[in-house]
């Protein structure tokens, strides 16, 4: 399988309140179709690493290459477009736009990409909602959904542009057990279909269900192992 993400010697400092090295020479690769989890204690730098990979944080040393594109030193507009096309996000605190309906939330990144007409984007969005079992809530305002439902919609939104990689920052961190299982189930189905997923988590059960686990401590990768 081909490599979709390559991080080489990634190092990052925080400067406030004083200079502090968060990430120390991180090097790893992710292959297409892999379901990868990054684990570690709070403050080990795993979320920081994810936001560097997400292209939203550009202040680092080293190189990140994704889908064959070097991301170091690109301007914000390029990175926005890159995120739109290649990345899907699922955050810990669902983060839907509350004034919009479920369907509109899913459609927005698709409309932004502008690859398909509005009608096609809507059909695709409905298809993604069907995948996560939320079609009956499509016309509801996002603010009327429960936490677990919102997180599932966020996954549908992440999928709308058929991204190269889906990134999750504690995607189940804020959910109860039933919803956690539900979300995990969806991630697994996606991984089975060949979707590359990188998730940061401190839930050992979640990590155990992924293809590969990278464990971090104090800004370095301390171990890496594959689940069978």
Partner 1 sequence: MNIRIAAQIAQTHLLAKKRQTLVAMLGVTFGIAMFITMISFMQGVNQFLEDSALDASPHVRIYNEVNTQRPSLIEQLNPGDFNVVYHQKPKDELARLKNGLAIAQRIEKEPGVLGVSPQVATQVFYNNGPIQLSGTISGVDIERENRLYNLASRLKSGSINALRTNPDGLIMGSTLARKLNVRTGDKVTITTPGGGTRILRVVGTFGFGVGTVDNTKSYANLSTVQEILQKDPSYITDIHLKMFDPLRAIPFGKKLRAEYGYYTEDWATANQAILAGEQIRNMLTYVVSITLLVVAGFGIYNIMNMTVVNKIKDIAILKATGFDGKDIVAIFLLQAAFIGLSGGLLGLGIGFGLSYLLSITPFEAGDFLSIRTFPVIFSSTYYVMGLVFGIVTTVLAGYFPSRKAAQVDPVSILRG
Site string for partner 1, 97-116 (x = CB under 8 A): xxxx---x---xx-xxxx--
Spell out where 32-73 has E strands: 35-40, 61-66, 69-70
Among 54, 102, 164, 196, binds partner 1 (CB under 8 A): 54
- Least Cα distance to 121 among 132, 109, 133 occurs for 109
| Shortest Å distance, C-beta 84 to partner 1 | 2
When asked if residue 14 is in the footprint of partner 1 (CB under 8 A), the reply is: no
116/161 Cα distance (integer angstroms)? 10
> Quick one: tokens of 201?
């988590």
Half-sphere exposure of 52 (CA within 13 A, CB side): 29
| Shortest Å distance, C-beta 96 to partner 1 | 8
> Quick one: tokens of 115?
């690859």
When asked if residue 77 is in the footprint of partner 1 (CB under 8 A), the reply is: yes
Among 65, 85, 127, 218, binds partner 1 (CB under 8 A): 85
Among 8, 21, 92, 217, binds partner 1 (CB under 8 A): 92
Contact range with partner 1 by CB under 8 A, out of 75-83, 129-137, 188-196, 200-208: 75-83
Q: Which residue in this structure is represented by tokens 């079609």?
A: 135
- Least Cα distance to 167 among 62, 41, 56 occurs for 56
Task: For partner 1, give the closer residue by CB, 80 or 220.
Answer: 80
When asked if residue 74 is in the footprint of partner 1 (CB under 8 A), the reply is: no
110/149 Cα distance (integer angstroms)? 20
Task: For partner 1, give the closer residue by CB, 161 or 195.
Answer: 161
Site string for partner 1, 28-47 (x = CB under 8 A): -------------------x
Indicate the helix (H) or strand (E) that contains 24.
strand 20-31
Task: For partner 1, give the closer residue by CB, 79 or 131.
Answer: 79
When asked if residue 81 is in the footprint of partner 1 (CB under 8 A), the reply is: yes
Rg of the chain, C-alpha, whole Å: 17
When asked if residue 157 is in the footprint of partner 1 (CB under 8 A), the reply is: yes
């Amino acid at each position: 399988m081909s490599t979709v993400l390559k991080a080489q010697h990634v190092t990052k400092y925080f400067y406030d309140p004083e200079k502090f090295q968060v990430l120390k020479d991180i090097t790893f690769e992710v292959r297409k179709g892999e379901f990868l989890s990054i684990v570690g204690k709070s403050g080990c730098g795993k979320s920081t690493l994810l936001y560097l990979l997400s292209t939203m944080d550009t202040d680092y040393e080293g190189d990140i290459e994704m889908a064959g594109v070097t991301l170091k030193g690109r301007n914000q507009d390029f990175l926005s477009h890159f995120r739109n096309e290649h990345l899907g996000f699922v955050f810990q605190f669902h983060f839907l736009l509350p004034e919009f309906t479920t369907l509109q939330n899913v459609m927005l990144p698709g409309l932004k990409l502008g690859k398909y007409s509005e009608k096609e984007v809507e059909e695709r969005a409905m298809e993604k909602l069907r995948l996560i079992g939320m079609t009956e809530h499509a016309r509801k305002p996002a603010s009327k959904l429960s936490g677990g439902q919102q997180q599932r919609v966020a996954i549908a939104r992440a999928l709308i542009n058929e991204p190269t990689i889906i990134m999750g920052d504690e995607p189940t961190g804020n959910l109860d057990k039933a919803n956690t299982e539900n979300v995990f189930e969806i991630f697994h189905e996606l991984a089975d279909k060949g979707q590359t997923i990188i998730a940061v988590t401190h839930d050992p059960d979640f990590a155990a269900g992924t293809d590969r686990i990278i464990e971090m401590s104090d800004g370095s990768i301390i171990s890496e192992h594959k689940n069978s």
